[in-house]
Amino acid sequence: MTHVKICGITTAEDALLAAELGASALGFVFWPHSPRYIEPIAARAIVARLPPFITPVGVFVNQPIPTVLAIARFARLGAVQLHGDETAEEYATLPTRVIKALPLRNAQDGGAAGAVPSNAMVLLDAYDPVRRGGTGRAVDWSVASAVARHRPVILSGGLHAGNVVDAIAAVHPYGVDASSGIEVSPGRKDPAKLRALFAALRES
């Protein structure tokens, strides 16, 4: 099964269900302007309850690198996801695994993946300069596929049980990232939608 990251986790119940169903990573949003924001101390408490094979990922948007690293250490994260306008120089040598989110509008945006250092994982998401993810909008899978032919990518953008199998077939990503498509409200997952997502993946 394709690697699955469930993002926008704010409760232990959602985290543990995602882990039970087969998620390999969970995303915690530490950008205060997000409706899925979680306090570092709350995230740390959830991370402490996770099975050892789950990678906790912190999501940040244009936040100072010292702040990013401090939260990563405090919350015991396994990786950081930079979802803003961070430059390669800012994160190329960070002492943690890095996921760099790239907004996709067209093929030109896809070309920007070449500037991401090879030691960082590329995450492709829908373009939204205000919300910075979690929009529920899909990316252009043909553009995403062109990027995925050159390097491993995580595909995000409006994924749910009804489209995730087609998305994987079209893009062939290393992994997928689901958030808004499996929620009842921002930051609260719908157990039925979460189960349906993993059922679709297992049956594909």
Mean pLDDT for the stretch of residues 26-47: 97
* pLDDT at residue 136, rounded to an integer: 65
- Asked if 49 contacts 79 with a C-beta cutoff of 8 angstroms, the reply is no
**How many other C-beta atoms can be found within 10 angstroms of the C-beta atom of residue 161?**
19
Q: What is the enclosing helix (H) or strand (E) of 192?
A: helix 191-203
DSSP 153-179: EEE-SS--TTTHHHHHHHH--SEEEES
- Asked if 143 contacts 121 with a C-beta cutoff of 8 angstroms, the reply is no
Confidence of residue 167 (pLDDT cuts 50, 70, 90): very high
The angle subtended at Cα 67 by Cα 65 and Cα 72, nearest 5°, is 95
Which residues belong to the active site? 7, 125
* pLDDT at residue 110, rounded to an integer: 66
% of the chain beyond a pLDDT of 90: 83
| Three-state DSSP state, 197 | helix
DSSP 61-126: SS--HHHHHHHHHHHT-SEEEE-SS--HHHHTT-SSEEEEEEEESSHHHHHGGGGS-TTEEEEEEE
User: Does residue 172 or residue 130 have the better pLDDT?
Assistant: 172
Give the global pTM: 0.93
Per-residue pLDDT of 77-127, as tens digits, reads 999 999 999 999 999 999 999 999 998 876 666 677 888 999 999 999 985
- Asked if 156 contacts 4 with a C-beta cutoff of 8 angstroms, the reply is no
* pLDDT at residue 201, rounded to an integer: 96
Residue 133 confidence (pLDDT) above 60? no
Which of the following CATH numbers is that of domain 3-203: 3.20.20.70, 2.60.40.1930, 3.50.50.60, 3.40.309.10? 3.20.20.70
* pLDDT at residue 120, rounded to an integer: 95
- Asked if 36 contacts 187 with a C-beta cutoff of 8 angstroms, the reply is yes
Per-residue pLDDT of 171-196, as tens digits, reads 999 999 999 999 999 999 999 999 99
